[in-house]
C-alpha cells in the first residue's frame, strides 16, 4: 500500500514536471521531441530483460526475447534517428552578400 501511494505521488509530480518540460519545447523541435520521448519509453527494455532473466520455460523466454528485440529497436532506433535529425540543425551562418550583375 505504502508502495502504491508513493508511486502515485511520484506519478503526480512527474506529470506536472513533464507538462512544464514539454510545453517549453519550441514548434521547431517538435519532430525530434517526438522521436526522443519515443526512445525514452523504450526504457521498458529493462522490464523485458528481467522477464527473460527470471523465466525458465520456453513460452516466457520466447515472449521475453521478442520483447527484448522490440525494446532494443525502440531505444537504439529512437535515439539514433533523433541524433541524426538534430545533427542537421545548423547554427546561424554569416549572411552571404556577394551581389552579381
Catalog residues that contact its own copies under the rule CB under 8 A.
Answer: 6, 9-10, 13-14, 16-17, 20-21, 24
Nearer to its own copies, 13 or 34 (CB): 13
Distance CA 78, CA 35 (A): 6
Taking alpha carbons only, the member of 46, 38, 47, 42 closest to residue 75 is 42
Query: What, of another protein, its own copies, none, does residue 101 touch, CB below 5 to 8 Å by kind?
Result: none
Q: Which residues ranging from 48 to 77 are in contact with another protein (CB under 8 A)?
A: 48-56, 59-61, 63-77
22 binds, among its own copies, another protein, none (CB under 5 to 8 A by kind): another protein
Nine cell digits for residue 86: 538534430
Q: Show the cell assigned to 99.
A: 551581389
Number of continuous H segments (helices) and E segments (strands) in the chain: 5, 0
Query: How many residues bind to another protein according to rule CB under 8 A?
Result: 94
Amino acid at each position: 500500500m505504502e508502495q502504491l501511494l508513493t508511486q502515485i505521488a511520484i506519478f503526480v509530480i512527474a506529470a506536472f514536471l513533464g507538462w512544464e518540460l514539454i510545453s517549453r519545447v519550441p514548434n521547431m523541435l517538435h519532430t525530434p521531441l517526438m522521436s526522443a520521448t519515443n526512445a525514452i519509453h523504450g526504457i521498458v527494455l529493462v522490464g523485458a530483460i528481467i522477464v527473460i532473466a527470471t523465466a525458465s520455460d520456453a513460452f516466457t523466454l520466447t515472449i521475453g526475447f521478442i520483447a527484448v528485440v522490440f525494446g532494443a529497436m525502440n531505444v537504439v532506433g529512437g535515439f539514433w534517428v533523433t541524433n541524426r535529425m538534430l545533427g542537421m540543425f545548423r547554427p546561424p551562418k554569416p549572411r552571404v552578400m556577394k551581389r552579381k550583375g
